[in-house]
Amino acid sequence: MQLIVGLGNPGDKYFNTRHNVGFFVLDNYAKEHNLTWKFEKKFNADVIKEGDLILVKPLTFMNRSGESVSKIMNYFEIKPEKLTVIHDDVDFDEGTIKEHFARGSAGHKGVSDVIKHLGTNEFNRIRVGVGRPTNPNIETDDWVLMNFDLETLKISSDLIK
């Protein structure tokens, strides 16, 4: 069983923000494959289960993503190496994709929470670059929560294997 988690924040307020890149990638995949999200209260997440693939959008807010991820992994008895977390990363130019296994959070609070709840960093990560603000008066925490056109990233749902 393969678990792919897109990190983001729930609600219309955050829909088109850089922090929601993980949700965006999963939503594109679901749309391309005519799959429908189902809210699962026991995980506090939107979930799609398709054969041996489980897609998850935690609805706990970014910094508490580990709560949903650990519940789902325990429920389906998924080993950490079968987990892939897709998230935004300000350390890369917009649209840059980097894949890693067993790395630290690099300061990403959503990833930190997943590591904390799982007790390990031995899972896959897909880091999607959203760049840093060019205006020195904009803090990074504000930057990732600002609206922008997610479509400009042209991120392929082929990231989901």
Handedness of CA 1, 29, 161, 88 (dihedral sign): negative
Handedness of CA 54, 43, 157, 99 (dihedral sign): negative
Q: Which of 19, 87, 108, 117 is catalytic?
A: 19
Residue 9 · residue 19 · CB < 8 Å = yes
- Which structure tokens are listed for 129? 């670059």
Q: Is 87 a catalytic residue?
A: no
Distance between CA atoms of 76 and 119, rounded to whole angstroms?
17
Would you put residue 11 in left (φ > 0), alpha (ψ -120 to 50) or beta? Answer: left
DSSP state of 8: -
Q: Where in the sequence numbering do the catalytic residues fall? A: 19
